[in-house]
Amino acid sequence: MESLYHRGVLIINTKDKLQKLKDYIHNLDNALIAFSGGVDSTFLAKISYDVLGDRVLAVTATFPMYSKSELKEAIDIAKKIGIPHLVVEFNDILEIEEFKKNPLNRCYICKSNLFSKFKAIAKDRGLNYVLEGTNADDVSDFRPGRRVLKELGILSPLLECGIKKEEIRILSKEMNLPTWDKPSYACLASRIPYGEEITYDKLSMIEKAEEGLRDLGFSGFRVRYHGDVARIELPKEQMDAIFEKSVREEIVKRLKNAGFKYVALDLEGYRTGSLNEPHVRVVKDVQ
């Protein structure tokens, strides 16, 4: 190891945690991995495949809140790893009225349905465990869906082994995983304020708007839905680019083509779960 620090993060125990993770997975004998193609699930899938080989199956669910570009990337990454991979449809989520109403426990409703399907697939395939990629840093955010994992007996090896996001990135880079520096991603429904009904049209607008920004070279951003207004959250280091006239005009054009009437820039920049900020005080009421 070249240094005990990486971008200011102490990593002296990272290798020990990695071995602990491998031992944890080895003791399971077989598993289904909930695989989105993000930083965490890719790392978990890679380690699981290295340890268990074909006794592990990565499963990706397609649903309206999961962008087409993310699905394609997940398929490509699974091929790169070599892990057996299954893509299943989960398009009936918007038929659940309680979910469509977008309550504070929206994530709980979604995950309850999703992981119940994963458990059924695991049972059909003779797999005894379902794993997912919550890491040790995720406990600090507003995530009402975590209760589902306990209720359904879903395992979170990265969390249980105390592995943090930055450590996952460090190890992923060493393993040449393409996700090592991938920005965090959350489902498209997280762009819609709680209480605002979730519809295919709104999700499509958000997906098209974000694809437009991505095509212009932006990354690690969010387009938040506020009716006719698209509120863009950009990483602070990318904000200057938006004030160039040609870039600004292209952004406005693309987001209006996506269906928005007005385009606004959030001067606070991107931060995880900004739509959760008014609700973090009531987290205990929905968990």
Among the candidates 175, 205, 233, a domain finishes at: 175
Given 107, 110, 161, 187, the catalytic residue: 187
259: left (phi over 0), alpha (psi -120 to 50) or beta: left
Domain presence at residue 119: yes
Whether 15 and 40 have beta carbons less than 8 Å apart is answered as no
Whether 115 and 148 have beta carbons less than 8 Å apart is answered as yes
> Do residues 59 and 197 share a domain?
no
Nearest C-alpha neighbor of 269 from the set 225, 213, 221 = 221
pLDDT at site 2: 41
Among the candidates 147, 175, 203, a domain finishes at: 175
> Do residues 107 and 193 share a domain?
no
pLDDT at site 104: 92
> Do residues 13 and 140 share a domain?
yes
Residue 247 sits at φ, ψ, to 5 deg, of -70, -45
Burial of residue 75 (CB within 10 Å: 0-12, 13-18, 19+) is: middle
Domain presence at residue 81: yes
Does residue 161 have an active-site annotation? no
> Number of folded domains in the chain?
2
Q: Which residues contact 30 (CB under 8 A, 6 or more apart)?
A: 52, 55, 56, 126, 127, 128, 129
Compute the half-sphere exposure of residue 171: CA atoms within 13 Å on the CB side of its CA: 25
pLDDT at site 138: 84
What CA–CA distances, in Å, run from 142 to 17, 42, 204, 278?
25, 23, 25, 11
Domain extent, residue 142, equals: 1-175
Domain presence at residue 28: yes
> Do residues 98 and 237 share a domain?
no
CATH code, domain carrying 96: 3.40.50.620
Among the candidates 175, 201, 228, a domain finishes at: 175
| Measured distance CA(256)–CA(262) in Å, rounded | 7
pLDDT at site 284: 41
> Do residues 235 and 154 share a domain?
no
Domain presence at residue 181: no
**3-class DSSP assignment, residue 101:** coil
| Measured distance CA(84)–CA(130) in Å, rounded | 15
* pLDDT tens for each residue of the chain, 287 residues long: 344 455 555 455 788 899 999 999 999 999 999 999 999 999 999 999 999 999 999 999 998 999 999 999 999 999 999 999 999 998 889 999 999 999 999 999 999 999 999 999 999 999 999 999 999 988 766 666 788 999 999 999 999 999 999 999 999 999 999 999 998 888 999 999 999 999 999 999 999 999 999 999 999 999 999 999 999 999 999 999 999 999 999 999 999 999 999 999 999 999 875 565 555 444 444 43
Domain presence at residue 161: yes
What CA–CA distances, in Å, run from 178 to 79, 89, 121, 136, 172?
12, 25, 27, 21, 8
CATH code, domain carrying 203: 3.30.300
Output helix, strand, coil percentages for the chain, rounded to the nearest 5: 50, 15, 35
| Measured distance CA(66)–CA(41) in Å, rounded | 15
Domain presence at residue 101: yes
Whether 51 and 150 have beta carbons less than 8 Å apart is answered as no
> Do residues 218 and 280 share a domain?
yes
> Do residues 163 and 21 share a domain?
yes
Output the DSSP codes for 189-202: GGGS-TTSPP-HHH
Domain presence at residue 272: yes
pLDDT at site 1: 37
pLDDT at site 277: 57
CA torsion, points 110, 113, 114, 115, in degrees to nearest 10? 120
Q: How many residues does the chain have?
A: 287
Domain presence at residue 183: no
> Do residues 160 and 247 share a domain?
no
> Do residues 12 and 102 share a domain?
yes
> Do residues 56 and 140 share a domain?
yes
CA 12 to chain centre: 27
